[in-house]
Structure 1
Amino acid sequence: MNLALPRLLQLASPALPVGAYTYSQGLEWAVEAGLVHDQATGEQWIAGLLEHAVGRFEAPLAACLQRAWAAGQTAEVERLNADFLASRESSELRAETVQMGYSLRRLLHDLEDFPVPPTLDAMPEVAFPTAWALASAVWEIPTVDSLTAYLWSWCENQVMAALKSVPLGQAAGQRLLLALGGRIPVLAEQAIELPEAAWSNFAPGLALASSSHETQYSRLFRS
């Protein structure tokens, strides 16, 4: 019985209890500043981050993490986890990945028959991609499918944040997901092959938005 697809759908589900819905990753401030105010500007903001930051840093890093978990390369897992934590450019972004990583680690402990390796518990702080990659490796999900779902989940959360904060209608949200989803397969394939020297999370707009969100007066989201 091939359970890779059902397990992947479970991992990518909005029902996964990691608190992703509480974060906007600076999008809420972009709305407050007037940078995002409709479907077109929402797509521009989200697609820019997807292609130039998440797709070129988080996705290839998650691919390497999945391979390292599968091969039992403890030191490599710890190195990549530390690199991701160090890459978060604001206290909110760092707190987000640590909280989501902690929640996913706790969930994996609660699942029946999931073999949690000692390495996961030995790390004081677990980034979300690290825990996600472990689940993908244990459940033998093909890397390209894992990355596709990871990127989709990120896009879906961003669109949901836009629906609440712009606000946008449900039809606009589905048009956004249709447009963003069309970009994901190529990004997932590229991420698998992208050498580490070419990884980049250079997104000054995100850093500024996230930092500004920390002192934003009225907020719906935690980042």
Structure 2
Amino acid sequence: MAELHAEERAGSQGLLRLMAWLSPAFPVGGFSYSAGLESAVVEEHVRDGDGVEAWLGLLLAHGGLRNDAILLAVAHRVHREGQTLAEIVSLATALAGSAERHAETTRLGEAFVKAAAAWPHPVIDSLAGPVPYGVAVGAIASAHGVSKLDAIAAFLHAQVSQYVSVAIRLGVIGQTRGLAILAAAEAPILDAALEVSRLGLDDLGSATIVADTLSMRHEVQYSRLFQS
């Protein structure tokens, strides 16, 4: 009974940490980035709530969100198996499709590692320097006993929530529509998490040329609220 209680406590503790790490209050600066959504709005690819929902669904199923989740899953496994993280960090960094995308993922990753150091663990030392956000979340979640599936689902939900917030701040949708989008995203997020948890590096890839191009175009956009 005592062992079971300890296991339950450890699982609950991991869940609490995951909630803290992916909370808007966690100081990673995610509110500064839109991953190209701002350009999509400016160039009228996304005009309303339906457009936001479709855009997020595309990224989740075929774009950057899917790739980030795969990298998270691989980093989780690599750490669990006691392997070095250097190779996955290098690959994830190289996969950034634009200068802004590179800056976004590595700055968020570094900020995440720095903030997560409040929960001391040797994994922090192995993530020194520029590290992509998904890799940092995967490795640190693994180090603290958070399951891979929980980590992926929570990460994707946090990212979708961030982009919904971007759409609200850009005036494309209101808070009520934003909440409706989050509610509708639950099933796709869980489906994606289940799929991604079984994937590896050979499954990386995207089919979101417009989204990737808009992320690049944001670099020269005349007026902007977000850093990407």
- Output the TM-score relative to the length of structure 1: 0.92
Matches within 5 A, 1:111-122: 111-121=118-128
For 2:91, the equivalent position in structure 1 comes to 83
8 Å CA contact 1:69, 1:134 repeated in 2: yes
Q: How does 1:43-82 map onto structure 2 within 5 Å? A: 43-74=53-84, 77-82=85-90
Shift of 1:195: 3.9
* Distance apart, 1:151 and its partner CA: 0.5
**In structure 1, what is the Cα distance between the partners aligned to 2:120 and 2:111?**
18
Query: Equivalents in 1 of 2:110, 2:123: separation in Å?
Result: 13
1:148-174 deviation digits (Å, cap 9, x = unpaired)? 001101100110001111331110000
Query: Which consecutive segments of 4 or more residues in structure 1 shift more than 6 A?
Result: none
Q: Give how far 1:51 is off.
A: 1.0
Aligned to 1:14: 24
Q: CA deviation at 1:113?
A: 3.3
How do 1:22-171 residues align onto structure 2 when only pairs under 5 Å count? 22-74=32-84, 77-109=85-117, 111-121=118-128, 124-171=129-176
Aligned match of 2:3: none
- Report deviation, 1:222: 0.5
The whole-number CA distance in structure 2 between the counterparts of 1:64 and 1:107 is 22
CA distance in 1, matches of 2:120, 2:199: 34
Residues 187-206 of structure 1: per-residue CA shift (max 9 Å, x gap): 11110112432221332112
Give, as a single letter, the amino acid of the residue that structure 1 aligns with 2:96. R
1:105-162: CA deviation from partner (whole Å, max 9, x where unpaired): 22133x14333453222xx421111211122012100110000001101100110001
Residue deviations 1:12-46, cap 9 Å, x none?
21111111111000000111001111101111111
- 1:22–1:221 contact (8 Å) kept in structure 2: yes
Q: Any unmatched runs of 5+ in structure 2? A: 1-8
The CA distance in 1 between the partners of 2:65 and 2:217, in whole Å, is 24
Aligned residues: 218
State how far apart, in whole Å, the 1-side matches of 2:50 and 2:171 are.
12
In 2, the alpha carbon distance for the partners of 1:199 and 1:126 equals 18
Instruction: State the Cα deviation string for residues 76-110 of structure 1 (Å, max 9, x = none).
Output: x211111111111110000001111111122133x
Identity value in percent: 30
SS at match of 1:214: helix
Q: What is the alpha-carbon distance in structure 1 between the residues aligned to residue 218 and residue 110 of structure 2?
A: 23
State TM-score, norm by structure 2.
Answer: 0.90
Gaps in structure 1 of 5+ consecutive residues: none
Q: Structure 1 153/72 Cα, relative in aligned 2: closer, same or farther at 3 Å?
A: same
Matched AA of 1:119: S
